[in-house]
Amino acid sequence: MGASRRQWGAAAPGSQLPWPTFCIVPWKPGSLAPVGQPYPLAETMPSPLVVDALRDQLVRVLDWYRHQRPAFGWGVVLHRRNERGKLRFGAVTPAGESLMLTQPLLAALATGPCWLDGAVRVRLTCRHISQNHPWLDALQRPDRPPLVEALAVCFDPDASAAECEAFQAMAGTLTPATLPSELFLLLKKRSSGWPL
C-alpha cells in the first residue's frame, strides 16, 4: 500500500486530491544524499514572531498611556527589515499589519504631531541619499509608491534639554542601516492612509 501512494498522481493521505507531480519523488532509503543549501537564506519579510513582538510592545505602550494620560490613540513602530537582501524601513501597526515604509505613508505621519516613545514630540521628513538616474527611475515598480531611503527625526523646539538628551541617538538623518533601535511613534489618532 505504501508503494502505491508514491505513484504519480496518487492521492495524499487523508485527502481526495492528487499530489502535484513535482511533490512526488520516488524514494528508497539511502538513495538520496543530504543536499546543502547552495545560497544563503535571506529573509524577505520580518519573522512573524518579530512582528508579533513589536505589535505587542506597541499595544502595551498605548494601553499604558491610555490609563496614565489619555493622549495617544494610535501608534506605529518603525524598524529595520531585510527586503530581498536590502535593508529597508518597515512599519508595524497596532493591528499587526507589517509593511514597508513608503514616502506617502511617511508624509501622512508628518502631517500631525508624533511623539517618540510618548515622551518627546518629533517631526519626521523624508530624505534622499542616492542620486536619481532616469534609467533607475524606469526600474521602479509602477504599482508601488517610492520607498523611504532615509528619514530625518527632528525634535520639537519646545522639548526640554533632558528629553532631547534621552533620545539623542534617534535624532538626525537615519537610514535602515543606522537605525539604533525601533522607533515607537505615538499619535493622538491614526494618520490618513495608514492601515489599522
Higher pLDDT residue, 6 or 167? Answer: 167
The grid coordinates listed for 21 are 507531480
In the predicted model, is pLDDT for residue 2 greater than 80?
no
**pTM of the predicted model, to two decimals?**
0.69
What average pLDDT does the segment 148-155 reach?
91
Digit-coded pLDDT (tens) for 35-93: 444 444 444 455 778 899 999 999 999 988 887 766 799 999 999 998 888 899 999 99
Q: Quick one: residue 59, left, alpha or beta (phi over 0 = left, psi -120 to 50 = alpha)? A: alpha
Half-sphere exposure (Cβ direction) of 13: Cα atoms closer than 13 Å: 6
